[in-house]
Structure 1
């Protein structure tokens, strides 16, 4: 992508800001309930929970803004969703201060990995077809959920779909914002979403003195590192590559790791490059000109910071939205990315079969040994590719040589 700033106009801000807003809504409305569940398991007070939300929202906001601005790419950062899902059980048997220490150790590991360059070399080895198959498999469930909600609220789902189709026909750029606006009006007028009970109050960060133990190292830090690396960083980097952004993984790992390290004493468990919600901001729906999509990353960061300032009170606003609305909104917003990923995955006749294996294995979303379906889908695809074509070793040395050449330049 172009490393210089393109000329910007006011209308460039509209599609990128809307893509960012939808990404934030999906992130908070779709999975943030896990943070409240983990906080309850840990026995945290409302003030400590607010500090967790403050630290993680401010942290992903600042890192996302900086990375997007610095590398002119829509680098969306977010908290580790599989990580917080793991913490729902881990915090039940780990003292909170020791968990904080574990968060810091995990963050240090990401900094070291980023500085080493090893992860970037591995990402470069992955064939484009397998990368696209992995992304399509991850996003498939969201596309299905866009229509599956019709069993729960057929009027809402059919209405949103109709709005989307009509607007795509007449004004493609504003299809998503139109669907969002009309959907919110419907929810408010029918009483399915009541925002009147939300009262804004600024969050106050609370510092927790970290403690370190072997139990927390093995029971929290190590699993959190592995889960976040395989469930977030890997698909997140492939989302960027799938849409043509070649930003190195090294600074992303280093900056998000550093941010996680600084935010951990205030409750933040880990933040990283986003995957699913990032796909909303990296494709053509965010902006036709790829060189201007970095604006979506900056807008996302600003939205996260605003939510973080108000902590629990503003984060709760997104939880009021019905799950069916969130799922339909996300699924329709990701249609273009899902279609593009499938097309890229099947474009090369030689690699079509291994890309399809990756897609199906990932879509199955099987969790083994505590590691999610994205990792095992990638393992299945790379294993098949190596056995069928025998090119993975060759790609390793090519990627290694390319990486060292980039370092010298």
Structure 2
């Protein structure tokens, strides 16, 4: 009898209890996905609009860009998540939009800015087909990835505390609902907080009469213009900032939660999608970092194999936000920003705890991990590149020194 058959037939194998995957509520991925989309849209859509306006877009072109990026990133999140069965969340490049604000009107005007966006999108595609980059990202130590994720989440997880001190009458019902649900029905803690937040916004926010009246946003195609000066001053920095401040942290977030996505196809897809949105006035798209932590963390579902449904729901919500961008902007603008951040912070507390546990698990790597956490939590920006990149760089140097003999 072969060893394989003997193992199956042995008494010890027969009595080993089968462990079913952990179960969770379908409401968890639905509420987490909705929260991720609302937080992602509410926190930075004004930066997107301002960035497009600063490089010369008209209000109609900027509205077209917001519509295009919401719909395209939603469709891409749905497609990639269903294809890979992983919580792959695609969002717009907030650092890229911030860079456009700082750059201002480029040489050649808005058509040249569209050309620079196309150039940056092409570089992202090249990064997707260049395998050494994928191997470099995959080599990030787990301790540093966890520490960087914890640093990214730390500021947002402070939002509930700030909300309780600055707007206690509005924040207290949200925090109380979360705490009670966490004690008596833990899977429903975040959904309960989200429902109370929506109720607070609807009943407390002061909406002017006819606030939601208006036409649907219309797509507006802009022919690109390739101006060498703008490609160098805007296109190349857009690529570097998007990769360093968004894609690398986004991949690290997924890795910190136990996922190993195929990097190449994701970059190729986001690069091609960015090219389409650029022609319609939208910014670059990339992997999410903070909202990815929402969808990839334990609050999205008890079973990691089912958490990708949260990014599917988030994608559907982004499509809806894009089609109703005007109404969504009115509702979000009318609500205190700290409330949206507070409910996100409550949802991310579990992810923060898990990231800290991963970062501090190996005693030999604790000091490099703490340095990584401190730099990531500082929110510094150096040479247009955000803190997550410099956090990995600082922690990596210290870890290399520790390992050097």
TM-score of the superposed pair, with normalisation by structure 2: 0.90
Superposed CA offset, 1:136-171 (max 9, x none): 011111111221233321222233222111110011
- CA RMSD for the aligned pairs? 2.0
Superposed CA offset, 1:284-321 (max 9, x none): 11111111111111111111111222343434433332
Range moving further from structure 2, 187-196 or 140-149: 187-196
1:77 aligns with 2:90: yes
> Alignment partner of 2:381: what SS?
coil
1:249 aligns with 2:263: yes
Distance in 2, matches of 1:43 and 1:108, equals 22
* Contact 1:76–1:297 (Cα < 8 Å) also in 2: yes
> Alignment partner of 1:209: what SS?
coil
Query: Which residue of 2 is the match for residue 372 of structure 1?
Result: 386
Superposed CA offset, 1:246-303 (max 9, x none): 1121111111111111221101120011000111111111111111111111111111
Query: Which residue of 1 is the match for residue 43 of structure 2?
Result: 30
Range moving further from structure 2, 131-140 or 150-159: 150-159
Distance apart, 1:40 and its partner CA = 3.6
Specify whether residues 157 and 311 from structure 1 end up closer, same or farther in structure 2 by C-alpha distance, changes over 3 A only: closer
Listed as ranges, the matches of 1:25-64 within 5 Å are 25-64=38-77
Distance apart, 1:192 and its partner CA = 5.0
Distance in 2, matches of 1:310 and 1:193, equals 16
Superposed CA offset, 1:34-57 (max 9, x none): 122224434533321221011111
Distance in 2, matches of 1:282 and 1:139, equals 13
Distance in 2, matches of 1:297 and 1:205, equals 25
1:184 to 187, 198, 218: 198
* Contact 2:205–2:335 (Cα < 8 Å) also in 1: no
2:132 to 118, 122, 126: 118
Distance in 1, matches of 2:348 and 2:37, equals 14
Distance apart, 1:333 and its partner CA = 1.0
TM-score of the superposed pair, with normalisation by structure 1: 0.89
Superposed CA offset, 1:82-116 (max 9, x none): 11111112233451100000001100001011111
Query: Which residue of 1 is the match for residue 31 of structure 2?
Result: 18
Superposed CA offset, 1:60-86 (max 9, x none): 011111110110001000000111111
* Contact 1:28–1:319 (Cα < 8 Å) also in 2: no
Runs of 4+ in 1 over 4 A off after TM superposition: 192-196
Listed as ranges, the matches of 1:3-402 within 5 Å are 13-94=26-107, 95-191=109-205, 197-199=211-213, 201-390=215-404
Distance in 1, matches of 2:114 and 2:349, equals 38
Structure having the higher Rg: 2
Distance in 2, matches of 1:45 and 1:93, equals 15
* Contact 1:200–1:314 (Cα < 8 Å) also in 2: no
Matched residues, number: 384
Distance in 1, matches of 2:134 and 2:213, equals 44
* Contact 1:33–1:319 (Cα < 8 Å) also in 2: no
Distance in 2, matches of 1:284 and 1:268, equals 32
Distance in 1, matches of 2:209 and 2:186, equals 30
Superposed CA offset, 1:187-237 (max 9, x none): 333345679622363222111000011121111111111111111001100
